[in-house]
Chains A and B, each alone.
Chain A
């Protein structure tokens, strides 16, 4: 464990050095994600200029849900971005051999290798929106809810990472699984808004099958109302543990099926 931390620190330091070397790239990335988010908010703002509430939620509440949903997404983007490359080209080009020849866990190595600073854009917007919305959203603030807030974020992040591990691992069988990550990851769009607006089929789907609702709306709803912590918060913990277990199993199966590329 200590060794893992040390390796992680060294790899992240390497990444930071590269970022310092290409400052313009870092700024472009962070500003891009910031503007992308700002436009999402402009959209909500334009809608609310015409209606007082959406599906029973006020403007501030919707902004809080939106902001909260960006935190796990941003953290996963910051820490585990390299999984996309596994799906899109690392396996296809045969570059995955590199990870197998080193004396550390390949999955850990893949994840530790990239520290995607672009995610700062998402994190800054997420935190900013929650702070902006907090005074008027009618938040449910107790010592327990504050503790749960800190506790739930890593688990919600794990849901994102688990989904990416599982979908990236398909590349071990079919060489390139970028499109699968893309399709499944794209469903995080559903997490940004209250699930009550969707049809029952979609609601069930984003709750239990591709459970992005647990990375955004459900936990955010608990911090807004204080209702049903067992489902809204406990669900996040349970689902993330289940999904992590499944995705690690798929990854392990995939590793043993991996054949290097020809040339």
Chain B
């Protein structure tokens, strides 16, 4: 245990330092995400006005606000830039330096990311969640959040993060074949946003699509924790969804290992 700490703590410290150094870039992405939330907020407001009803497919406007901002928070918490990091290292050849170190390659990436994830939790996610609860308190006049839901939400977010990390790792390996990382990043984000239900609640999709997506790994990356937090699932369903998340976390772990073994053999560093 002590050995593990000694080996990976420097990676984690480096991760925190990277984030502090590039804090302004991080701020840019946070503000970008918030602008997006506000556009969506007004769009949904117009949708509610046009539909004339109090609820839209089972969601009230308050639900929608919580959904939008909580999806954003969950997105920040499960954010992983490992696809880009590993892609850049493959492109410039510095991955060779990582491979010769006597540490586990994936774990060294994970450690670096956890440092950043912790900072995001403290400076971003917690204040936004407090803000959301104040908003709900103002609307309903009472505290809505069930502490049990919060607890399961955090558990679900951890599973979501592990899946997100592995999915991103798999996307990063694509850099062994294609060098256009920017394009891959756009593709990855738009596919995940849509399939994970963070763009539009899966509950709004046609029945067959909804059922399919709910069992795919993408829903586990954002929709499941958000629905748990909002109290849309009862206790049985929460446990069932957490189990699905756990199964995907294991499967994606296996997949990323498999790809890694294949990809490393193909590694071809250009220049360097």
Contacts and interface: CB of A to CB of B under 8 A. Distances in A.
A126 B144 CA distance: 43
Interface stretch (A9-17, A24-32, A254-262): A24-32
- Of B26, B27, B28, B178, most buried by chain A (CB within 10 Å of CB) is B28
B102 interface: no
Interface residues of A, number: 43
Interface stretch (A44-52, A135-143, A154-162, A244-252): A44-52
Contact of A183 (B31, B178, B204): B31
A32 B184 contact: yes
- Of A176, A193, A197, most buried by chain B (CB within 10 Å of CB) is A197
Interface stretch (B45-53, B148-156, B232-240): B45-53
B187 A35 contact: yes
- Of B56, B180, B194, most buried by chain A (CB within 10 Å of CB) is B180
Interface residues of B, number: 40
Nearest to B32: A186
A235 interface: no
Interface in B1-57: 24-29, 31-32, 35-36, 38-39, 42-43, 45-47, 49-51, 56-57
B183 interface: yes
A28 B178 contact: yes
B185 to A, nearest CB: 8
Contacts, number: 115
A53 B180 CA distance: 39
Interface in B71-104: none
Contacts of B57: 50
Contact of B183 (A25, A39, A88, A198): A25
A221 B39 CA distance: 19
A197 B204 CA distance: 21
Interface in B181-199: 182-184, 186-187, 189-191, 193-194, 199
Nearest to B31: A183
A197 B41 CA distance: 10
A55 interface: yes
Given A50-B51, A55-B50, A182-B32, A202 B183 contact: no
B47 A183 contact: no
A180 B182 CA distance: 19
A190 B25 CA distance: 22
A179 interface: yes
Contacts of A43: 199-200
B25 A179 contact: yes
- Of A25, A179, A189, most buried by chain B (CB within 10 Å of CB) is A179
A22 B180 contact: yes
Given A29-B182, A180-B28, A183-B32, A189 B39 contact: yes
B178 A24 contact: yes
Nearest to A32: B187
Contacts of A179: 24-29
Given A33-B183, A39-B194, A50-B204, 13 more contacts: A36-B189, A39-B190, A51-B47, A55-B46, A176-B24, A179-B24, A186-B31, A186-B32, A186-B36, A189-B35, A193-B43, A197-B43, A202-B38
Interface of A: 22, 24-26, 28-33, 35-36, 39, 42-43, 46-47, 50-55, 88, 118, 176, 178-183, 186-187, 189-190, 192-194, 197-199, 202
8 contacts: A24-B180, A29-B183, A29-B186, A31-B183, A52-B50, A176-B24, A183-B27, A193-B46
**Complex A-B, nearest 8 residue pairs according to Cβ-Cβ distance, in ascending order:** A179-B28, A29-B183, A32-B187, A25-B180, A182-B28, A186-B32, A197-B46, A36-B190
